[in-house]
Amino acid sequence: MDAMTRIERSLSAALGLAQTADGPPLLAAAMRYAVFPGGARIRPRLCMAVARACAEDKPTLSAGVAASIEILHCASLVHDDLPCFDDAATRRGRPSVHKAFGERIAVLTGDALIVLAMQALARASETAPTRLGPLILVVARAVGAPNGIIAGQAWECEPKISLAKYQQAKTGALFAAATAAGACAAGHDAGAWHLLGERIGEAYQIADDIRDVVSNEHELGKPTGRDLALDRPNAVNRMGLGVAVERLEDLVRSAIEAIPKCPGAHDLRAHILAEASRLLPRELARPAA
Amino acid sequence: MDAMTRIERSLSAALGLAQTADGPPLLAAAMRYAVFPGGARIRPRLCMAVARACAEDKPTLSAGVAASIEILHCASLVHDDLPCFDDAATRRGRPSVHKAFGERIAVLTGDALIVLAMQALARASETAPTRLGPLILVVARAVGAPNGIIAGQAWECEPKISLAKYQQAKTGALFAAATAAGACAAGHDAGAWHLLGERIGEAYQIADDIRDVVSNEHELGKPTGRDLALDRPNAVNRMGLGVAVERLEDLVRSAIEAIPKCPGAHDLRAHILAEASRLLPRELARPAA
């Protein structure tokens, strides 16, 4: 079974934990709407690629961990889109959760998805219970305060932003968790795997900045030019398109160099290069080094 | 060290995980503000009382579990108070989190506290790693969808509310987690302990309804008469004060009967009766049966 199919099945199984006939129907529908159909599932595919590179011995656990990371990503999108933050009307080419279900259900959907992600980790770890603690800690660090996604969003509320900390927390942290948790799911030590994820996250952040400036709304599935409109930091607006594309290519190279020693390093390298080639809008893409 | 001191110390230690000099300061301050100074800490004290009744062998774990439950309770209050829900200006006698820190930080504070609670469970379980999975599952069930606090809040967004499910999810579920997780922290099976917490939660819900009608704002530390103003179900408005007080007394008796066999059942009974005597406004309190 290919990685994408395993991820979608694992996501379905996780969502199933939250959805029974006796729960409130709108919340259940909104949780499903926030997760399906997904985007490129970049983080869970990276997580699974690392687990495979570490010779995964518990495939159900790897897929469960990957699903948890994607669920946390979806939760962050739902809350980022809220009226008090980005006030985004669309996401993935259709109404955002608060536009489709109302603001109250959107707040609760984000909350419930965070809880579900942790529950899915606990379920997936039942055959390897000693891996659960390290997994929860890796994931919580990537999501909570002081350095995870939520902290990244909180930097937007500060009078003075540290751009590096903001981007590392807002984007880098969950990529770092994807690689670290992938290793952890395969029984490897998480520590050596953070750097790879951080560099991929940085590359992804720059690619996202480039798409925000260069793409059109139809291609991207969400409004473009938002960074300029909302006065948010954007690498292209800061350093120009040419320099931003070079920086992206540098980061992909340094990510490859950061792959720790592992049985499947060769395939992991190929996975990262293939992903990198999809990061840029078609008209800017060049063969990766 | 008494239970209250252990809980406050454990809460402090947990909050410390989220607060370093390099994180966003407003979020850190708001998380602390949401947790300290606390209310009566009813749920964590119940959790610790159950752990003691089960002859706790890991006191740091019991205290960590109790703190996690309180942190989740605080998270739910922050989100319940948001403008899109109760729009409450005060909580525990001072400005609510969104009034003090703004709506955006309030959303993120609730999110970060949910993550922190799970992280604190993982840290506290390091000396008993096989208990972590069951603890996460007990806690996630009490907080998430389809039957936890978040689902309870989501029932408020439905055109038709099932009152029993609403109250069980909104209030009963976290009390049930307090007793079940307390047992679990002491290495006992959680299953037998849910009923006790559910009944205490039901008693607490009725006591809360009574206080909403009978108390004044100064005594309660939050606005009163809110249920009538917001058209929310309230036992006193539905069945009258006398019947509500009788129902509360019945529930306390049936809670006592639901205590599973355990080494410290006698002390646990005393704890529950002492707590129950504090549930009603002074002018209504009668010695418990």
Rounded to an integer, what distance in angstroms lies between the CA atom of residue A260 and that of residue B70?
40
Mutation to test the B interface, candidates A72, A76, A114, A160, most B Cβ within 10 Å? A114
Q: Which CATH number fits domain B3-284: 1.10.150.20, 1.10.10.10, 1.10.600.10, 3.30.565.10?
A: 1.10.600.10
Distance from the B57 Cα atom to the nearest Cα atom in chain A, whole angstroms: 19
DSSP-based three-state secondary structure for B156: coil
Rounded to an integer, what distance in angstroms lies between the CA atom of residue A44 and that of residue A51?
10
In sequence order, the β-bridge partners of residue A90 are A95
Measure CA A180 to chain center.
Answer: 13
pLDDT given for residue A287 in this prediction: 54
pLDDT given for residue B233 in this prediction: 77
pLDDT given for residue B66 in this prediction: 98
Assigned token pair, A22: 């006796």
Identify the CA nearest to A122 among candidates B125, B147, B73, B182.
B125
pLDDT given for residue A256 in this prediction: 97
Assigned token pair, B144: 């998430």
CB pairs under 8 A between A and B: 198
Identify the CA nearest to B49 among candidates B192, B277, B279, B259.
B259
Spell out which residues of chain A touch residue B158, defining contact as CB-CB under 8 Å: 24-26
DSSP-based three-state secondary structure for B95: strand
- The answer to whether the CB atoms of A24 and B154 lie below 8 A apart is yes
| Peptide bond just before A37 cis, omega within 30 deg | yes
Contact status, residue B51 vs residue B183, Cβ threshold 8 Å: yes
Sorted by where each begins, the domain ranges of chain A are: 3-284
Contact status, residue A144 vs residue A211, Cβ threshold 8 Å: no
Identify the CA nearest to A72 among candidates A109, A30, A40, A125.
A109
In this prediction the ipTM stands at 0.94
Rounded to an integer, what distance in angstroms lies between the CA atom of residue B156 and that of residue B235?
16
The CA-atom distances, in angstroms, between A120 and each of A8, A231, B165 are 14, 37, 24
Spell out which residues of chain A touch residue B119, defining contact as CB-CB under 8 Å: 136-137, 140-141, 144
Give the pLDDT confidence of B79-88 residue by residue, as tens digits.
999 999 999 9
How would DSSP label each residue in chain A? --HHHHHHHHHHHHHHHT--TTS-HHHHHHHHHHHSS-S--HHHHHHHHHHHHTT-S-HHHHHHHHHHHHHHHHHHHHHHTSTTTT--SEETTEE-HHHHH-HHHHHHHHHHHHHHHHHHHHHHGGGSGGGHHHHHHHHHHHHSTTTSHHHHHHHTTSSS--HHHHHIIIIIHHHHHHHHHHHHHTT--SGGGHHHHHHHHHHHHHHHHHHHHHS-HHHHSS-SSHHHHTT---HHHHH-HHHHHHHHHHHHHHHHHTPPS-TTHHHHHHHHHHHHHTTS-GGG-----
Q: Does A98 touch chain B (CB under 8 A)?
A: no
pLDDT given for residue A214 in this prediction: 84
How would DSSP label each residue in B127-147? GSGGGHHHHHHHHHHHHSTTT
pLDDT given for residue A217 in this prediction: 66
Task: Give the nearest partner residue to B146 out of A23, A141, A145, using CB atoms.
Answer: A23
DSSP-based three-state secondary structure for B246: helix
Q: From B76, which residue of chain A is nearest by alpha-carbon distance?
A: A111
In sequence order, the β-bridge partners of residue A197 are none
Q: Give the A window 4-23 contacts with B, CB below 8 Å.
A: 18-20, 22-23
Q: Does A151 touch chain B (CB under 8 A)?
A: yes
- The answer to whether the CB atoms of A23 and B145 lie below 8 A apart is yes
Residue carrying the six token digits 């948001």: B82
Assigned token pair, A74: 């979806």
pLDDT given for residue B189 in this prediction: 94
In sequence order, the β-bridge partners of residue B91 are B94
- The answer to whether the CB atoms of A146 and B19 lie below 8 A apart is yes
Distance from the A57 Cα atom to the nearest Cα atom in chain B, whole angstroms: 19
Distance from the B246 Cα atom to the nearest Cα atom in chain A, whole angstroms: 29
Rounded to an integer, what distance in angstroms lies between the CA atom of residue B31 and that of residue B33?
5
Rounded to an integer, what distance in angstroms lies between the CA atom of residue A222 and that of residue A219?
8
pLDDT given for residue B6 in this prediction: 97
Q: From A133, which residue of chain B is nearest by alpha-carbon distance?
A: B122
Predicted TM-score of the model (pTM): 0.94
- The answer to whether the CB atoms of A129 and B129 lie below 8 A apart is yes
Task: Give the nearest partner residue to A158 out of B25, B110, B165, using CB atoms.
Answer: B25
Beta-carbon contacts of residue A143 (< 8 Å; ≥ 6 apart): A72, A76, A114, A149, A150, A173, A174, A177, B115
Residue B288 dihedral angles phi and psi, to the nearest 5°? -70, 155
Spell out which residues of chain A touch residue B122, defining contact as CB-CB under 8 Å: 132-133, 136-137, 140
Beta-carbon contacts of residue A151 (< 8 Å; ≥ 6 apart): A144, A145, A169, B23, B24, B27, B112
In sequence order, the β-bridge partners of residue A94 are A91
Distance from the B145 Cα atom to the nearest Cα atom in chain A, whole angstroms: 5
Residue A86 dihedral angles phi and psi, to the nearest 5°? -80, -15
Task: Report the half-sphere exposure of A185 (CA within 13 A, side-chain side).
Answer: 34
Sites in chain B below the pLDDT cut of 70: 217-222, 283, 285-289
Distance from the B281 Cα atom to the nearest Cα atom in chain A, whole angstroms: 32
Distance from the A24 Cα atom to the nearest Cα atom in chain B, whole angstroms: 6
- The answer to whether the CB atoms of A136 and B137 lie below 8 A apart is no
In sequence order, the β-bridge partners of residue B94 are B91
Sites in chain A below the pLDDT cut of 70: 217-222, 283, 285-289
